[in-house]
Amino acid sequence: MGYKLEQNKNMKLTIPYYLHKAGAGFPSPATDYIEEDIDLNMHLIKNVPATFIIRVQGKSMVDVGINDGDLLVVDKSLKPKNFSTVIANVHDELVVKTLVQERDKKFLSSGSIQRTKKIGLVDCNSFYVSCERLFNPRIRKKPVVVLSNNDGCIISRSNEAKALGIKMGEPYFKAKDIIVKNKVEVFSSNYSLYGDLSGFFIKLFFIWRFI
């Protein structure tokens, strides 16, 4: 199942808001009264710097109500829970799947009750930070954060940065005082580097599998 990223413009999106409520029990007479327009951004988007919109392409998630062509509002700052719907990078392709946690293992499934087909997950600790440290030993014992596109928000933190109270998905400007005060090393994201190292690790996992 493939996906297309949509531009997330900082603009109001308003639609009519009907004063009359929709009954979930017995039907009641309809009304034409409109109270006001509402801004969908206020109700759908909680963390603007960490949010993007993606269009679904494929039918593997129809069992959980996600259809081909649907638009998904994705907040990268949220921590996924068991059976959460997530956007994951699998072999450099974005996919929407259901996260399944069983004991100490994590899998991705297509939301099927049987979950006969699963994708195993291997989590590298603070992966983007680890990639930066691999080529820069000077920062291995220092607090480090990596920023998102256009340096908008924090998307990877070292353990030292986490201990300072810097939150995942937090806008950079909000954490700037803590970062400056504690001399936190800050890096812009380098997706070419991260993609190459991710592919290298995947090859290692396949080799390990057949040893």
Whether 130 is catalytic is no
End-to-end, the C-alpha distance of the chain in Å comes to 31
Helices (H), the chain: 40-44, 127-134, 159-163, 172-181, 191-209
Q: Which of 4, 79, 81, 97 is catalytic?
A: 97
Q: Which residues contact 95 (CB under 8 A, 6 or more apart)?
A: 1, 2, 3, 87, 88, 89, 108
Measured in residues, the chain has a length of 211
Q: No. of H helices and E strands in the chain?
A: 5, 12
Whether 188 is catalytic is no
Q: Which of 9, 12, 28, 60 is catalytic?
A: 60
Distances (CA, A) of 184 to 81, 145, 150, 156: 29, 7, 19, 13
Distance CA 99, CA 83 (A): 5
> Which are the catalytic amino acids?
60, 97
